[in-house]
Amino acid sequence: MSAGDILAPPPSAQGPASRFAGSLRTFVVKLADEPLGMFGFAVLLFLVIVAILAPWIAPYSATSQNLAQALQPPSAAHWAGTDEFGRDILSRLIYGTRITIQTVLAVSLIIGPIGLLIGIVAGFVGGRTDAILMRATDVVLSFPSLILALAFAAALGAGLNTAIIAISLTGWPPIARLARAETLIVRNTDYVAAARLYGASRTRLLLLYIAPMCIPSVVVRLTLSMAGIILTAAALGFLGLGAQPPAPEWGAMISNGRKFMLDNWWVAVMPGLAILITSLAFNLVGDTLRDILDPRHAR
Amino acid sequence: MIDVENLSVSFGQGPARTQVVKSVSFSVGKGETLGIVGESGCGKSTVLRSLAGLDRHWEGSIRLAGEAVDPDRRREQLLLAQMVFQDPYGSIHPRHRIQRVLAEPIRAMNKGPGWDRVGPALRQVGLPETFADRFPHQLSGGQRQRVAIARALMLEPDILLLDEPTSALDVSVQAEVLNLLCDLRDERNLTYVLVSHDLSVIAHMCDRVLVMQRGTFVDELTRDDLQRGVTHHAYSQMLFEEAVNGLRDVHEVAPVLN
Amino acid sequence: MPVDQPILEIRDLSVRFGRAKIPAVNSVSLTVGAERVGIVGESGSGKSTLGRAVMRLLPPAARIEAATMNFEGAPLLTRSEKAMRGLRGNRMALIMQDPRYSLNPVLTVGKQVAEAATLHQKISRKDAYALAADMLGRVRIADVERTMALYPHQISGGMGQRVMIAMMLLSKPRLVIADEPTSALDVSVRGDVLRLLDELVRENNSALLLISHDIRMVATFCERVLVMYQGRVVETLTKLEDAKHPYTRGLIAAMPDPKHPVSRLQVLDRQAINQAGSTL
pLDDT for B254 = 33
CA atoms within 13 A on the CB side of A63: 8
- SS3 call for C14: strand
Chosen for mutation from B76, B86, B93, B156 (greatest number of chain A CBs closer than 10 Å) is B93
Binary contact (B96, A2; C-beta < 8 A): yes
pLDDT for A43 = 92
Of C152, C165, C145, C86, the closest CA to residue C120 belongs to C86
Binary contact (C265, B179; C-beta < 8 A): yes
Binary contact (B239, C265; C-beta < 8 A): no
Q: Angle C111-C116-C117 (CA atoms, 0-180°, nearest 5)? A: 95
For residues C108-118, give the mean pLDDT. 87
For residues C98-113, give the mean pLDDT. 85
pLDDT tens digits, A91-109 = 999 999 999 999 999 999 9
Report the CATH number that the domain containing residue C242 is assigned in CATH: 3.40.50.300
pLDDT for C277 = 58
pLDDT for C116 = 83
Integer-rounded Cα Rg, in Å, for chain C is 20
A286 Cβ contact list (under 8 Å, min separation 6): A220, A221, A223, A224, A226, A227
At residue A237 the predicted structure's pLDDT band, cuts being 50, 70 and 90, is: confident
> What CA–CA distance (Å, rounded) separates A166 from A149?
5
Question: Are the C-beta atoms of A242 and A150 separated by less than 8 Å?
Answer: no
Q: In whole angstroms, what separates CA A174 from the centre of its chain?
A: 14
Of C209, C232, C225, the closest CA to residue C92 belongs to C209
pLDDT for A244 = 81
Binary contact (B179, C191; C-beta < 8 A): no
Share of residues in chain A with pLDDT > 90 (%) = 34
> What CA–CA distance (Å, rounded) separates C208 from A146?
63
pLDDT for A15 = 56
Cβ-Cβ contacts under 8 Å, A13 against chain B: 133
Looking at the DSSP assignment, which residues form a beta bridge with residue B110? none
DSSP annotation string for C178-243: EESTTTTS-HHHHHHHHHHHHHHHHHHT-EEEEEES-HHHHHHH-SEEEEEETTEEEEEESSGGG-
Neighbours of chain B (3+ CB pairs under 8 A): A, C
Which of B176, B203, B249 shows the shortest C-beta gap to C258? B203
Q: Which residues numbered 239-268 in C keep a CB inside 8 Å of some CB on B?
A: 239-240, 250-251, 254-259, 261-268
At residue B154 the predicted structure's pLDDT band, cuts being 50, 70 and 90, is: very high
Chosen for mutation from A191, A201, A219 (greatest number of chain B CBs closer than 10 Å) is A191
Of B18, B14, B13, B26, the closest CA to residue B60 belongs to B26
> What CA–CA distance (Å, rounded) separates C99 from C157?
7
B240 Cβ contact list (under 8 Å, min separation 6): B199, B226, B229, B231, C258
> Domain range spanning residue C195?
8-276
Q: What is the dihedral of CA B151, B154, B160, B166, to 10 degrees?
A: 20
Whether residue B252 is predicted with pLDDT greater than 60 in this model: the reply is no
User: Any alpha helices (H) in chain C, and if so which ranges?
Assistant: 47-55, 81-87, 109-120, 125-138, 144-148, 157-171, 187-204, 215-221, 246-253, 270-276
Which of C188, C218, C259 shows the shortest C-beta gap to B39? C188
**N residues, chain A:** 299
Which of C187, C194, C258 shows the shortest C-beta gap to B226? C258
Cis peptide before A16 (omega within 30 of 0): no
Cβ-Cβ contacts under 8 Å, B246 against chain C: 214, 216-220
Whether residue B106 is predicted with pLDDT greater than 90 in this model: the reply is yes
Whether residue A9 is predicted with pLDDT greater than 80 in this model: the reply is no
For residues A55-61, give the mean pLDDT. 87
pLDDT tens digits, C209-244 = 999 988 888 888 888 999 998 888 988 988 888 888
Cβ of residue C217 closer than 8 Å to a chain B Cβ: yes
Question: Are the C-beta atoms of B21 and B43 separated by less than 8 Å?
Answer: yes
Cβ-Cβ contacts under 8 Å, B96 against chain A: 2, 4
pLDDT for C4 = 65
Binary contact (C256, B238; C-beta < 8 A): no
Segment among A183-187, C251-255, C260-264 with least mean pLDDT: C260-264
Count of CB atoms situated within 10 Å of the CB of B62:
21
Binary contact (C259, B174; C-beta < 8 A): no
For residues C83-100, give the mean pLDDT. 83
pLDDT tens digits, A121-138 = 999 998 899 999 999 999
Instruction: Compute the mean pLDDT over every residue in chain A, rounded to the nearest whole number.
Output: 85
Which of C43, C195, C268 shows the shortest C-beta gap to B250? C195
pLDDT for A296 = 54
> What CA–CA distance (Å, rounded) separates B143 from B141?
5
Domain count, chain C: 1
> What CA–CA distance (Å, rounded) separates B183 from C197?
42
Residue of B nearest to A210 (CA): B93
ipTM of the complex model? 0.86
Which of C42, C198, C264 shows the shortest C-beta gap to B172? C42
Cβ-Cβ contacts under 8 Å, B201 against chain C: 256
In a domain? residue C233: yes
Binary contact (A193, B85; C-beta < 8 A): yes
At residue B245 the predicted structure's pLDDT band, cuts being 50, 70 and 90, is: low
Binary contact (B95, A212; C-beta < 8 A): yes
B230 Cβ contact list (under 8 Å, min separation 6): B221, B224
> Looking at domain A33-60+81-297, what is its CATH homologous superfamily?
MetI-like (1.10.3720.10)
Q: What is the dihedral of CA B240, B242, B246, B252, to 10 degrees?
A: 120
pLDDT tens digits, A71-81 = 888 888 888 88
Cβ-Cβ contacts under 8 Å, B239 against chain C: 187
> What CA–CA distance (Å, rounded) separates B119 from B125?
10
The C-alpha of B175 sits at a distance from chain C's nearest C-alpha, in angstroms, of: 6
> What CA–CA distance (Å, rounded) separates C29 from C12?
5
> What CA–CA distance (Å, rounded) separates B248 from C190?
9
Neighbours of chain C (3+ CB pairs under 8 A): B
Segment among A21-30, B128-137, B188-197 with least mean pLDDT: A21-30
DSSP annotation string for A135-165: HHHHHHHTS-HHHHHHHHHHHH-SSHHHHHH
Whether residue B119 is predicted with pLDDT greater than 70 in this model: the reply is yes
At residue B246 the predicted structure's pLDDT band, cuts being 50, 70 and 90, is: low
> What CA–CA distance (Å, rounded) separates A40 from B224?
69
Binary contact (C194, B255; C-beta < 8 A): no
At residue A295 the predicted structure's pLDDT band, cuts being 50, 70 and 90, is: low
The C-alpha of C260 sits at a distance from chain B's nearest C-alpha, in angstroms, of: 7
pLDDT for B163 = 92
pLDDT tens digits, C152-195 = 888 888 888 888 888 888 888 889 999 888 887 777 778 888 88
Binary contact (B247, C217; C-beta < 8 A): yes
Cβ-Cβ contacts under 8 Å, A190 against chain B: 85-87, 90-91
Burial class (CB in 10 A: 0-12, 13-18, 19+), A119: buried
Instruction: Give the pairing of strands C8-17 and B81-84.
Output: unpaired
Looking at the DSSP assignment, which residues form a beta bridge with residue A21? none
Residue of B nearest to A196 (CA): B54
Binary contact (C254, B171; C-beta < 8 A): yes
Whether residue A32 is predicted with pLDDT greater than 80 in this model: the reply is no
DSSP state of B109: T
Whether residue B12 is predicted with pLDDT greater than 70 in this model: the reply is yes
pLDDT for C268 = 79
Binary contact (C187, B239; C-beta < 8 A): yes
Binary contact (A194, B155; C-beta < 8 A): no
CA atoms within 13 A on the CB side of A59: 11
Question: Are the C-beta atoms of C40 and C226 separated by less than 8 Å?
Answer: yes
Instruction: Compute the mean pLDDT over every residue in chain B, rounded to the nearest whole number.
Output: 86
The C-alpha of B51 sits at a distance from chain A's nearest C-alpha, in angstroms, of: 11
> What CA–CA distance (Å, rounded) separates B254 from B226?
26
> What CA–CA distance (Å, rounded) separates B178 from A21?
39
Binary contact (B226, C254; C-beta < 8 A): no
Give domain limits for chain A. 33-60+81-297
Binary contact (C254, B172; C-beta < 8 A): yes
Which CATH number fits the domain B2-245, given the four candidates 3.40.1010.20, 3.30.70.1450, 3.40.50.300, 3.40.50.1970?
3.40.50.300
For chain C, first and last CA: distance in Å? 26
pLDDT for B257 = 34
Cβ-Cβ contacts under 8 Å, A201 against chain B: 108
Which of B204, B227, B250 shows the shortest C-beta gap to C256? B204
CA distances from C132 to C37, C41, C166, C192 (A): 29, 36, 8, 20
Of A215-229, B146-160, C47-61, C74-88, highest mean pLDDT: B146-160
